[in-house]
Amino acid sequence: MNEIPYKTYLNENEIPTAWFNIRSAMVNKPAPLLNPGTHQPMKAEELAPVFCEELIAQELDNDTEYFPIPDEVLNFYRMYRPSPLVRAYFLEKALGTPAHIYYKFEGNNTSGSHKLNSAIAQAYYAKKQGLKGVTTETGAGQWGTALSMACSYFGLDCKVYMVKVSYEQKPFRREVMRTYGADVTPSPSMSTNVGRKILEEFPGTTGSLGCAISEAVEVAVGTPGYRYVLGSVLNQVLLHQSVIGLETEAALNKIGVKPDIIIGCAGGGSNLGGLIAPFMRDKIKGKLDTRIIAVEPMSCPSFTRGVYAYDFCDTGMVCPLAKMYTLGSSFIPAPNHAGGLRYHGMSSTLSQLYADGYMEAVSVPQTEVFKAAELFARVEGTLPAPESSHAIKVAIDEALKCKETGEAKNIVFGLTGTGYFDLVAYQKYHDGLMDDYCPTDEDLAVSLAKLPKID
Ligand SMILES: *Cc1c(COP(=O)(O)O)cnc(C)c1O
């Protein structure tokens, strides 16, 4: 028997009963969302046509430490939570590292990722407000899948705008969403003003998250009884995802382990923001000196090559402005980038923490991500999502550094989901058709030149 179990589960009654708001612990709060017309901070009433009321309150609250998880949401969590914290004994052995590697696995639900943690909360608040339905965008499809499940649970209508390249490459994702009753449209589409405009300007575009967001917002605002919901980036989403970090903290306490390094992939920042929430609080208070590393794709490097500035959250420029590390809202990653994490910006909470030096960030090429994914699948028995595999890649790199120094560091990473719907990407990798596209400085300068001027 190993001293530390392969899986550390909490009991059902140890699922957190409140979400933790990391902003409450921050010295420098994230910059407020701005009205795109007046450049003044958005007030709750200005956000009300777009978002659900209680979610707006959560979005704007930088001070409340804990938000109780409503019973209906907690009961739903009980179907698939707590998620296991796994000691990666077999990966350690394969690497020959003295490091102790742990991962928090969020792929144990039908949607296959952590996104369900926020989807069920957002659907709950929409239902509570008496809405008829919600609209959203989805990139790789995990968010759309999670939201479809959540909406069918609460009897809400769900309209999903799916980035065209994913719609075409991941037909099975689409079918899961339709199984749960969602209406799925490839984006850009001809069904919205913004979609038509984008198609006119960029015929043949494979779409982007920023563009799908604009379409979903347009439909939400223009359809009575509908609001728009978003699966990442926003403060409220990081809040809901704190359930990951709180469970991780409780499990590590159970086995008496202090993390030296915490690693997470970063698309819009929700899983990472959730995973690190309680650890970041202790780090800010000087009680913990854990290194926290965000991992992003080399082809969409918001933290590592973006600028910290106010930008549009969407291509159509209909959303509020957010201050974040951004590549510019017109940035569209190369279509041969298969590894997810394609959003041009980053959570404003994580952006502020990164600007203040509480976190590190690295970008990695996609063939190395898939190489790490394959090793992980072979030794740990779980087929990881390409997004999650960014974190695996850097966890492996850090474990190999420990092999050189002989240090038995505790490395914790977020394994955000499974890769069963990403087999076209795996196929590309196996067939040698995947390349490591990296935007040039000139490419980035084009979209960065279009940042809004805020004084
Ligand atoms: C959406 C997604 C991500 C990235 O989103 P974040 O908001 O940055 O967490 C990572 N992994 C999986 C499996 C996803 O579905």
Nearest-CA residue for atom 10 of ligand 1: 387
Comparing 341 with 82, which gets the higher pLDDT? 82
Provide the percentage of residues in the chain whose pLDDT is more than 90: 87
Which ligand 1 atom sits closest to the C-alpha of 417? 13
pLDDT of residue 339: 72
Ligand 1 midpoint to CA 407 (Å): 30
Distance 271 CA to ligand 1 centre (A): 6
Sequential DSSP letters for 62-89: SS--EEEPPHHHHHHHHHH-SPPEEE-H
Q: What is the mean pLDDT of residues 431-444?
A: 94
101-131 residue pLDDT tens? 999 999 999 999 999 999 999 999 999 999 9
Phi and psi angles of residue 159, each rounded to the nearest 5 degrees, phi first: -110, 120
pLDDT value at 266 more than 70: yes
Mean pLDDT of 62-90: 97
Tell me if 7-15+80-112+236-448 shares its fold with 20-69+114-233: yes
CA of 267 to the centre of ligand 1 (A): 6
DSSP annotation string for 254-290:
HTT---SEEEEE-SSSHHHHHHHHHHHHHHHTTS---
Mutation pick for ligand 1 pocket among 115, 229, 363, 422 (CB with most ligand atoms within 8 Å)? 115
CA end-to-end distance (rounded Å), the chain: 62
Over residues 176-201, the pLDDT tens digits come to 999 999 999 999 999 999 999 999 99
Q: Which ligand 1 atom is nearest residue 139's CA?
A: 1
- Provide the angle, in degrees to the nearest 10, between the axes of the packed helices 116-128 and 53-60: 120
Distance 266 CA to ligand 1 centre (A): 7
Residue nearest to atom 5 of ligand 1 (CA): 267
Of 173, 232, 418, 420, the residue with max ligand 1 atoms within 8 A of its CB, to mutate for a pocket test, comes to 232
- The class of domain 20-69+114-233 in CATH terms is alpha beta
Domain chopping of the chain, boundaries = 7-15+80-112+236-448, 20-69+114-233
pLDDT at 455 over 80: no
Out of 138-142, 160-164, 398-402, 425-429, which region has the weakest mean confidence (pLDDT)?
138-142
Average pLDDT over residues 64-72: 98
Mean pLDDT of 50-74: 98
What confidence category does residue 341 fall into, taking pLDDT thresholds of 50, 70 and 90? Answer: confident
Position 139 pLDDT exceeds 80: yes
Distance 438 CA to ligand 1 centre (A): 20
Residue 338 has pLDDT above 80, yes or no: no
pLDDT at residue 71 is higher than 70: yes
Neighbour tally for 98: CB within 10 Å: 14
Residue with the nearest Cα to atom 2 of ligand 1? 387
Ligand 1 is surrounded, with C-beta below 6 A, by 113, 115, 142-143, 232, 265-272, 341, 385, 387-388, 416-417
| Ligand 1 center from residue 253 Cα (angstroms) | 26
Work out the pLDDT band at 2, boundaries 50, 70, 90: low
With the most atoms of ligand 1 within 8 angstroms of its CB, the residue from 136, 235, 341, 350 to mutate is 341
- Say yes or no to pLDDT of 332 above 70: yes
pLDDT at 1 over 60: no
User: Residue 340's pLDDT is what?
Assistant: 75
In 89-208, where does DSSP find H-type helix? 89-95, 116-128, 142-154, 164-169, 171-179, 193-201
Instruction: Return the higher-pLDDT residue of 157 and 210.
Output: 157
Cα 96 to ligand 1 centroid, rounded to whole Å? 29
**CA quadruple 277, 280, 281, 287: dihedral sign:** positive
- Report CA torsion sign: 151, 153, 154, 156: positive
CA of 9 to the centre of ligand 1 (A): 22
The predicted pLDDT at position 337 comes to 79
Ligand 1 pocket, mutate which of 113, 209, 337 (most atoms under 8 A from CB): 113
pLDDT at 175 over 70: yes
Closest residue by CA, ligand 1 atom 4: 267
Ligand 1 center–CA 270 separation, angstroms: 7
Rounded to the nearest integer, the mean pLDDT of the chain is 95
In the reported structure, the alpha carbon of residue 38 is separated from the centroid of ligand 1 by a whole-number distance in angstroms of 32
- Integer-rounded Cα radius of gyration of the chain: 20
Residue-by-residue DSSP string for 272-339: HHHHHHHHHHHHHTTS---EEEEEEETTS-HHHHSEEEEEESSTTS-SPEEEEEES-TT----TT--S
Q: What is the pLDDT of residues 246-264, one digit of tens each?
A: 999 999 999 999 999 999 9
> CATH number of the domain at 7-15+80-112+236-448, please?
3.40.50.1100
